[in-house]
Structure formats: structure tokens, C-alpha cells
Chains A and B, each alone.
Chain A
């Protein structure tokens, strides 16, 4: 083999090694959670890298806990309502910000961007008061309302970007025909915006599904908990004896749907994330 070919082969080998290391780093922790969740508690404390005789007792135990199922239900309701609310509010807002030139447009955009940078803890006490005044403490509504603080700026921003990219001709034709802005939005632009809505909705769903600080603070009882709080609060006899098998089974159960969504919608998610960050 000539030195040049050897060098090329070595480079290629090095490249694939790097890809291998990268994949191992990205995927191994989740894989290890699956391995752990499929072990009976007697085998938990011997480290193993492969799945031997999968044992589903941890999954059975988790799925028999009424509070865990309840938490999944709560998380679903909260996330779906947040997505619906955020998409509706941001769709109209994005039409105004993306299609109409008016005084104060820049200020509104800057304000929205500013809210997205809020540290959540900065509004915690004020929001707590609002939620109690509205009688929403320890309900899913408290979370649905409060989650708009981090979903709305994001959905407005991304939808405005997408809205601005739609061709002007369509709208001009609608205006010439005397269509009102509402009709223009719902009949002309909305059908073209479905891909963008799916992307932003998905990102808002993931953000709402994963949120922890508000969920921990604004709910009190097991019946109102969401999944992240339920998992954080799983405990054993003492702080040093966590039921790791059970915990990993619960973790895998709530993460698998997200991982599948991400793998399916990878391209859309990437375009949404980069539209939110780079074009701003």
C-alpha cells in the first residue's frame, strides 16, 4: 500500500472512531437507563453493559402506581393546552408582526424577545400571587397559564419568521378582493403555515412536558403533579436508597415518546430551533 493510500485509510479510520465516540457519548446514558430498568432489583447493583433476560417487573410496578399514571395524564393535558393556547395567541400576533408594517412593531418584537430571556424565578412570587388570586393554585390551569411565559415568546418569534417568508402576492390578491385581515389569515395564510405550526407546536410541547420549577411550586398534591415533578419526588426508604430500577423505568416511559417524536420530526425541529435563534 502506498503511503498516500495508508494515510487516507488512517484518516478514514480516525473519522469513524470519532463518530463512534460521539454516538456512544450521546446515546449511552439513555441506553444505560433502559438496561437498568430491565433488571430485577436483585441484579441492580452489579454493573452490566448488556441486557440479559429482560425483566419487566419495574415497568409493571410503575404502571400500577395510580399517581404516576395520573402524572402522565396531567402532563399531557397541560402540554396540549399550552400548545393550543400558545399557537392561537401567537398565530394572530405573528400575522401582525410578520405581515403588517406599523409603528411600534420593533418595540413589540424586542419586548417579546426580552420576556424569553426572563429567569423564571424572577416572576415566581408575583405569579404565585396571581395564581392564588385567580383560585388556580394546585390545578393544571396554573401550569397552563404560567407556561405561556416561556412558550409564547418562542412561538411568536418563530411563527413571525415563517410568516415573513410567505410570498406577498397571495396576500395582495386577498386584499384586492376586499378580504378582511382575519379572513386573509385563516383562509389564505393558515393553510400554508401548517408545517411551521407543527414545528413550533412540537417545540412548545417538549418545553411544557419538561418544565419543572413552576410545576414544583404551583402544584401541591399527587393528583396534580406533572411527570418531571413525580419523577423528582420518587423516593425510597432513605435518601440513599432510591428505587433505581423503578426510577429508570419511569424515566424511560416518559422519554421514549419524546425520543420517537424527535427522531421522526428531526428536520422540522432543527429548522424551528435555528429559525428561532439565528434569524433573530
Chain B
């Protein structure tokens, strides 16, 4: 701290006043940013704008540029007697429902489990760093691979999960985890939770280690019950980190694709918004309609992301 304060005037001179040096640095900064900005413009901004445009055309995959402008007909269209378009497609609303169901349940479970595991691993014990490394394994396994491993474990005839549950007497007959419409969403959630709890745990552990020690000392001296300390001290202090983790996971879950595609393919009981959009884009080759679905998904994610950025900025302002 003292080092930076004694150097502050010097820094001021170098970095903020309009000097030739500073002007040169700003010019260099923009030059240094240009390759990255160009790259993001090419792979993110321009394709996104094209997707918006495609959603207003009847383009197909063979000739994406050849579509004609049809306004909002991909979204909603009245042909005199009935409505058509994505906004009245029951399949789309089914995908929206599935995605929301998946997001709420899996993010909820991940945050709760991640917090519990982090509290457990925050206790000092021999072999802690090994345990911490080992619980990272599910995070490192490619989603496709973990979906395949779990679909083998959840296999209706030969899977170990059914075998275990049968021998423990939990069920009378094997369950068709990935085929049964009532169970398949649970199968997807089980795999996703398994894969992402380590990530949430890591964030929570990092946050736990930043908590001030003196509060806990005081609480222990006063003989306050640990559970009460958790509810009154730990949880409120962890809230910002918990929210960040939850928002990261919510944004990820809303665009879920891999695990569903591999585990249950195009089954309508688990189809997410991303799976729906890709099905129309690539399998049905209907770029206009698929882009409309992608645009709607983008809007949902953008609203949540903006909310997050807004809240984050507010919090920064409050803190400073």
C-alpha cells in the first residue's frame, strides 16, 4: 500500500496527464486492441447481425444470402384464417418450458451442492488438496464424454444405476432413464449437476477464503451456535459470490445443447431452445426460421446479461 501511495504523483504524471508519452500510449493501446476487436467483429458481431437479418427472411442453408425479406413472418404470421410462426409453435414453447425447467432445477441444485461441498472442503484436514484436485475431474471431462458415460450408467437394461437401485430394493423394475418422458429431464439434470458442481465449489471456496477471520473469532468467543453464524455471517458475506456463480450457471444453462443432444437426442421431452434452433437451422435447413429461434434465445440471454452487468456496475459504484 505504502509503495503505491509514494509513487502516486509519479504515476499521475506518467499515466493520466496529457503528455506526449501518454498520447503515444493511448495510440498504442488502440493499436494493440485492434486485432482482438477485428477478430471479435468477424466471429461475433457480424454473424450476430446476419442472424438477426436471416430471421426476417426465408433463407435456406444451401444459399443463406438468397432469402427474400418477409418481415416478421417467421415469428408470427396471419394468413387470413389462422396464425403461424414460431410464437404460436407449441414445440417452441415446449422448448422454452424445458429450458426454464432445466435451468431452475439444475442451477438451484448446483448452487446448493456447490456451497455445501465448499463448506466441507473449507475445513482443514490432511489430504485436502488431493480431494480438491480429485473433485475437479468431472469438470475436466468433455461434456460429450460425460453424457456418454452417464448414458451407459443409466442404461435401462445393463446400467449400474438400475442395478444398484434394484439390489437396494428402491425400485421394482428397471427405469428407462433416457427414454421415459418423465425421467429423461432428470437424467439430463443429473449429468449437468455432476459436471458443474466442481466449478461452483471452486468459486465458493475462493470466496470463503476471502472472508474476514475476526468475525468468526468474535462469534466463537461469544459462544454463538455455528448454524446461526452460518445464517447470519457466512451466507450474507457469500451472497455476492453466490450470485455471480448463479448467473454464470444460468447463462450457461439457458444455452444448453451438448448434454441434451447426446443423452436424449431430439426427444421433445428434453428439447432445449438451442436444440430446437439448431434442428431448424441445420436438419430442416430452414435458416430463416432457425435464426428467429436463435434471435429469441439471444434476447432472453441478453436481458439477463444486461441485468447482471447493470447490477455489477451498481455494486462497484456502491463499493467505491
Contacts and interface: CB of A to CB of B under 8 A. Distances in A.
Interface of A: 15, 18-19, 22-23, 25-27, 29-30, 32-33, 36, 44-45, 47, 88-90, 92-93, 95-97, 100-102, 108, 110-115, 117-130, 132, 145-146, 148-149, 152-153, 156, 168-169, 172, 175, 180-182, 185, 206, 209-210, 212-213, 216-217, 227-229, 231-232, 244, 247-248, 251, 254-255, 258-259, 261-263, 266, 269-270, 273-274, 277-278, 280
A54 B273 CA distance: 43
Given A96-B29, A100-B29, A172-B11, A125 B51 contact: yes
Contacts of B273: 121
A232 B141 CA distance: 14
Interface of B: 3-4, 7, 10-11, 14-16, 21, 24-26, 28-30, 32-33, 35-37, 39-40, 42-44, 46-51, 54, 59, 61, 64-65, 117, 120, 123, 125, 129, 131-146, 148-150, 152-153, 155, 157-158, 160, 163, 194, 198-199, 202-203, 206-207, 241, 244-245, 248, 251, 254-255, 257-258, 261-262, 273-274, 277-278, 281-282, 287, 290-291, 294-295, 297-298, 301-302, 305, 309, 312
A74 to B, nearest CB: 14
A44 B297 CA distance: 42
A29 B149 contact: yes
Contacts of A229: 144
Contact of B145 (A97, A216, A251, A273): A251
A182 B28 contact: yes
Contact of B142 (A102, A156, A209): A209
Main DSSP-derived SS at the B contact region: helix
Contacts of B64: 125, 128-129, 132
Nearest to A123: B47
Contacts of A156: 36
Given A251-B149, A255-B145, A117 B305 contact: yes
Contacts of B132: 266, 270
A232 B262 contact: yes
B251 to A, nearest CB: 5
